[in-house]
Structure 1
Amino acid sequence: MSHSDPAPRALRLELALSAGLALPDTGDIAVFHPRSGEQLTPLPRERVVIITPHAPDFAVFSAQGYRCVKAAEGRFAAALICLPRGRDEARDIIASASGATEGPVIVDGQKHDGVEAVLRELRGRVELSEAISKGHGKIAWFAAAASAFADWQAEAGSCADGAGREYRTLPGLFSADGVDPASALLAGVLPGGLKGVAADFGAGWGYLSAQLLVRAPGLTTLHLIEADARALDCARHNVTDPRAQFHWADATVPIPRLALDAVIMNPPFHSGREARPQLGAAFIQAAAAMLKPSGQLWLVANRHLPYESTLASAFRKVTELPGAPGFKLFHAEAPLRGKPGAAGKPGRSVNRNGRRS
């Protein structure tokens, strides 16, 4: 999956270098959390180290020949921060970069992701350069000062489910402050009689997986598939059942030789601020490709998301279960063989509200 470069980050970097940003002549340059499709051409490729916990981005930049790591390791001569949308996550990345870098620390982001507010905060803590505006975003830089951001380093948090079970979370993760209502709705309909091998696509910090393992003692294995390494680390802490196996992987890409009896999912439908319902469609198609002929899928989605056609093209039987005002639930059975969604024998239409034809 690729993203266009909306910044344009490369152009802002070029303008900054022309305006006085000086990169050290030697040493590695850390680039924190770039997204696939973004251009980093103003930086010397052989010195760039991509730091990203996101498996799809890691794979894309690795394929382009960049050195990639999931988290900052060692010291860097300079750092470029590609600001995320979340304020707490952005602060944590700035603190990490400043603590691992000799300097300069370059901060670049889009206005709709809050770059202006971040730059205002930085001016109260460090000597920040003049910001350069271009492409609906801004770039500025400062000399690394780890002590200035000690209070910005993210610390693990926690939340509890309705039964009082505590879960470890982290700022910047999906639903870090509490159990997502859609996931709670799906957990309530998961059957207890499941057996064999199952998977949680986009497992996050592990809530749905923990619920399923309690409900279904007949499961032999549950694979947690999650693209964010930070969320997966939390899931390892939250899901200690020995039947759990953890995969840092893109759930839109089928895992070879993994045959499943059941899949559960509450798929994402945003990339940053951009709505991308095709992400959920890709989750469904990957599930159909990995399920056995008798396999089953349980899915929860926001009510406005158009997943019905994807489900109907990927499964022989699809039933919409009673949902909630903001969410809909589906149970799909018997994946169609061949490419899901390809031309050929269609699946049945979605049956509504638990009624089967």
Structure 2
Amino acid sequence: MGLATRLTLALGGGHVTLPGAGRIAVFGPRAGADLSALPRDRVQVITTLRPDFDYFSAQGFDRATAPSGRYAAALVCMPRARALAQAMVAQAAACTDGPVIIDGDKTDGIESMLRALRAHARATPGAPLSKAHGKLFILAPGADLSDWQPEGPRTIEGGFITAPGSFSADGIDPGSRALADTLPATLGARVIDLGAGWGYLSARALSRDSIEHLDLVEADHDALDCARTNITDARAHFHWADATAWRPDTPANTVIMNPPFHTGRNADPGIGRAFIAAAAMMLKPAGALWLVANRHLPYETTLAQHFKRVEEAAGDSRFKILHASHPSRQRR
């Protein structure tokens, strides 16, 4: 509601004046965001996250995973990751001839973004409108933020390619490494990696010759593109999809996953619970789920609701490796 409130006040009070014609790019709005203050027929929503892409598709908006051509104005909805936020603002400034509107809640880092732009030698942010626990301000046309543009995919340990702003972009996630080290020698012929990211778990799993088919399911378009580069094995199949809604054509022997547990800056175990419920629907009657989670996350109850057998296979003070098998028939 914060974005809708601030945007409505800004447009209605003259704080922001949109050009009378031309496309308006909206970078990174999350599912549920209210964009009704903008002229829908001129808006193009730009997002790499499949659930958000699908939400705005259902709302009737034009969508894209990357900007194309020039825009008369732009709105940047602040993401959680600072590097990604700077990249989005720089991208918006580079393709927009008119004002770039930047909006975010305080918990999104909007105040640090405003400070960073004020300190930048080639950017002129306007006075902010503060409302509903956040801020909205305009970046004047002509800002040169080329130094904020990401250099592109980076190469990390093991030769893996990662995308700026994606999960574990700077290195292999310790939890994922722990899970990969714990997985048994036999996973079955068909395996699914839910929330596959840039493909680390799948790459490790595919060292097993017994795997015939592995589905990588990932909602982040950029991360999945990296996975396609990192994994050239013909047994791998890539799906840009919401892991909680996607279903395989054939039930799997094993699901592996390191589920996300944040919405914005807030911990949300409900995401992991949804991953667990989805995994149970994807497995054969004797199938197994292997997942890693931070020690404090309360997934055992949900696992017990969806699987007949649940155990902690390994762990330390930071992580736990959970193994569940035989999804409950009443849940299928």
Do they superpose with TM above 0.5? yes
Of 189, 207, 210 in structure 2, the residue corresponding to residue 196 of structure 1 is 189
> For residues 345-356 of structure 1, what are the structure 2 equivalents within 5 Å?
none
Alpha-carbon separation, structure 1, partners of 2:252 and 2:104? 40
Q: Which residue of 2 aligns with 1:348?
A: none
Of 188, 203, 221 in structure 2, the residue corresponding to residue 210 of structure 1 is 203
Q: CA deviation at 1:256?
A: 5.2
Q: CA deviation at 1:316?
A: 1.4
Aligned length: 328
- SS of 2:156's equivalent in the other structure is strand
- SS of 1:278's equivalent in the other structure is helix
Q: CA deviation at 1:230?
A: 0.9
1:113-161, Cα deviation, whole Å (9 max, x unpaired): 2111211222233222111101111111123336x1111111222211x
Alpha-carbon separation, structure 1, partners of 2:250 and 2:93? 41
1:22–1:244 distance in 2 versus 1, CA, 3 Å: same
1:196-245, Cα deviation, whole Å (9 max, x unpaired): 1111000111111111101x111011111000101111111111111111
Instruction: Establish whether residue 134 from structure 1 lines up as the match of residue 126 from structure 2.
Output: no
Q: Is the 8 A contact 1:154 1:170 kept in 2?
A: no
Of 77, 95, 101 in structure 1, the residue corresponding to residue 96 of structure 2 is 101
> For residues 153-302 of structure 1, what are the structure 2 equivalents within 5 Å?
153-155=149-151, 156-160=153-157, 165-214=158-207, 216-255=208-247, 257-302=249-294
Q: Which residue of 2 aligns with 1:345?
A: none
* RMSD value, Cα: 1.4
Instruction: Establish whether residue 152 from structure 1 lines up as the match of residue 148 from structure 2.
Output: yes
Q: Which residue of 2 aligns with 1:58?
A: 53
Q: CA deviation at 1:318?
A: 1.4
Q: TM-score, normalised by structure 1?
A: 0.89
Alpha-carbon separation, structure 2, partners of 1:318 and 1:142? 52
Q: Which residue of 2 aligns with 1:352?
A: none
One-letter identity of the residue aligned with 1:150: S
Give identity over the alignment, percent: 53
One-letter identity of the residue aligned with 2:173: D
Alpha-carbon separation, structure 2, partners of 1:16 and 1:333? 53
Q: Which residue of 2 aligns with 1:38?
A: 33
Q: TM-score, normalised by structure 2?
A: 0.95
Q: Which residue of 1 aligns with 2:9?
A: 15
Alpha-carbon separation, structure 1, partners of 2:75 and 2:330? 43
Instruction: Establish whether residue 311 from structure 1 lines up as the match of residue 303 from structure 2.
Output: yes
Q: Which residue of 2 aligns with 1:355?
A: none
- SS of 2:331's equivalent in the other structure is coil
Q: CA deviation at 1:290?
A: 0.8
Alpha-carbon separation, structure 1, partners of 2:138 and 2:250? 46
Q: Which runs of 5+ in 2 are unaligned?
A: none
> For residues 317-336 of structure 1, what are the structure 2 equivalents within 5 Å?
317-336=309-328
Q: CA deviation at 1:179?
A: 0.9
Alpha-carbon separation, structure 1, partners of 2:246 and 2:298? 22
Q: Which residue of 1 aligns with 2:81?
A: 86
One-letter identity of the residue aligned with 1:149: L
Q: CA deviation at 1:30?
A: 0.8
Alpha-carbon separation, structure 2, partners of 1:322 and 1:234? 29
Alpha-carbon separation, structure 1, partners of 2:95 and 2:252? 42
